């Protein structure tokens, strides 16, 4: 199977709207060419600096624009972060992600502490990922030199719908940070969030943006909105789990070599829906009780589910 970056909107629309059994079958064919069908990567995400973010992302409990009850916390100290990374590794995680609620990285004491965390986690032989907001080229290079394997920066939704979700930055800002990350030789983790009131066409447009990135993001997180009280999307309608399945399967077909991550919102899915997401080509999940500030199934529940399905956690980062 050839990896393509020239997918057209019509082709993607045609795939997304296939009858579900056909869509899942094609996703499985793509999946099996590049990945073991019985393996799922376990990742852990830790909020190293919580709340008080100046951005106004309508889904986010950490935005300073909304009253959500998330308490603001300063940057954690590197020793605590390393302890959390060691625990995550002991529970089977091979990737450790650190998230800070910043609009952008600012050079100085806090960034130096993040670099120290990256060096420490990389020394544990874990894939190390950060999500810190916008980055300059030189900051991306310093993260790379510290041992960063991946940088998460989501496109969130389609360019057409983006203005409904965020007003404090534009789509091109996202694309620029992704370009800086690429230039530094760090792998890209980039996906979106479903269930924010977007249409099928928005989801198709987001997938088109992702699938036309050259190279593709090595990791594609597909999140389902977890409505947070106090945010503009706090009362959003529940997403049909089959929309998640369709989006994951389409992502798998368009970006067959990437890891597709079933990310936030997994706790709202039944075991059967999660199983369908695996069949559709998801091969990475976040484990641990919390995803930044939202609840997530615990590591024990995940291990039990994999065992029930006869699947296993990926061993090597």
Q: Enumerate binding residues for ligand SF4 (CB under 6 A).
A: 53, 55, 57, 60, 62-63, 101, 133
43, 44, 53, 277: which is the annotated catalytic residue?
Answer: 53
26, 44, 95, 129: which is the annotated catalytic residue?
Answer: 129
Residue (of 194, 152, 185) closest to 47 by Cα position: 152
Least Cβ distance, residue 144 to ligand SF4 (angstroms): 22
Q: How far apart are CA 100 and CA 292, in angstroms?
A: 9
Contact present, 218 and 258 (Cβ < 8 Å): yes
Nearer of residues 101 and 121 to ligand SF4, judged by Cβ: 101
277 annotated active-site: no
129 annotated active-site: yes
Query: Any idea what the Cα angle at residue 262 is, between residues 242 and 205, rounded to 5°?
Result: 65
Residue (of 38, 4, 7, 23) closest to 278 by Cα position: 38
Contact present, 244 and 268 (Cβ < 8 Å): no
Nearer of residues 176 and 275 to ligand SF4, judged by Cβ: 176
Least Cβ distance, residue 133 to ligand SF4 (angstroms): 6
190 annotated active-site: no
Least Cβ distance, residue 207 to ligand SF4 (angstroms): 20
130, 189, 190, 277: which is the annotated catalytic residue?
Answer: 189
Nearer of residues 101 and 313 to ligand SF4, judged by Cβ: 101
Q: How far apart are CA 112 and CA 199, in angstroms?
A: 41
Nearer of residues 191 and 241 to ligand SF4, judged by Cβ: 191
Least Cβ distance, residue 226 to ligand SF4 (angstroms): 12
95, 261, 266, 277: which is the annotated catalytic residue?
Answer: 261
Residue (of 209, 282, 295) closest to 246 by Cα position: 282
113 annotated active-site: no
Least Cβ distance, residue 18 to ligand SF4 (angstroms): 32
Instruction: Detail the DSSP E strand segments found in the chain.
Output: 39-49, 95-100, 127-131, 150-152, 187-189, 192-194, 219-224, 259-262, 284-287, 290-291, 294-295, 312-313
Angstrom distances, CA of residue 39 to CA of 47, 188, 281: 26, 21, 11
97, 130, 190, 277: which is the annotated catalytic residue?
Answer: 97
- Number of other residues whose CB lies within 10 A of the CB of residue 139: 22
Residue (of 180, 166, 86) closest to 132 by Cα position: 180
Nearer of residues 15 and 101 to ligand SF4, judged by Cβ: 101
Residues with a catalytic annotation lie at 53, 57, 60, 97, 129, 189, 261
């Amino acid at each position: 199977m050839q990896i393509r970056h020239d997918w057209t909107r019509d082709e993607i629309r045609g795939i997304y709207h296939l009858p579900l059994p056909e869509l899942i079958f094609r996703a499985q064919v793509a999946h099996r060419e590049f990945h073991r069908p019985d393996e799922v990567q376990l990742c852990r995400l830790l909020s190293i600096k919580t709340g008080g973010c100046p951005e106004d992302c309508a889904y986010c409990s950490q935005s300073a624009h909304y009253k959500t009850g998330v308490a603001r916390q300063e940057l954690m100290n590197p020793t605590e972060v390393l302890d959390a990374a060691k625990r995550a590794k002991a529970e089977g995680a091979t990737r450790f992600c650190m998230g800070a609620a910043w609009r952008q990285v600012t050079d100085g004491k806090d960034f130096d502490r993040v670099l120290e965390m990256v060096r420490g986690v990389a020394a544990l032989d874990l894939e190390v990922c950060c999500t810190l907001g916008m980055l300059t080229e030189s900051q991306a290079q310093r993260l790379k030199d510290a041992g960063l394997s991946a940088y998460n920066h989501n496109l969130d939704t389609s360019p057409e719908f983006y203005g409904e979700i965020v007003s404090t930055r534009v789509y091109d800002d996202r694309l620029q940070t992704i370009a800086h990350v690429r230039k530094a030789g760090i792998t890209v983790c980039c996906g979106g969030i479903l269930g924010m009131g977007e249409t099928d066409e928005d989801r198709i447009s987001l997938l088109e943006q992702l699938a036309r990135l050259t190279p593709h993001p090595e990791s594609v997180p597909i999140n389902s909105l977890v409505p947070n009280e106090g945010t503009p999307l706090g009362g959003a309608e529940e997403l049909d789990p089959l929309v998640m399945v369709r989006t994951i399967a389409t992502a798998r077909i368009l970006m067959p070599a990437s890891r597709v991550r079933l990310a936030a919102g997994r706790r709202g899915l039944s075991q059967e829906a999660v199983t369908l997401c695996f069949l559709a080509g998801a091969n990475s999940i976040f484990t641990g009780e919390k995803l930044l500030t939202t609840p997530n199934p615990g590591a024990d529940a995940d291990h039990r589910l994999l065992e029930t399905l006869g699947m296993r956690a990926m061993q090597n980062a």
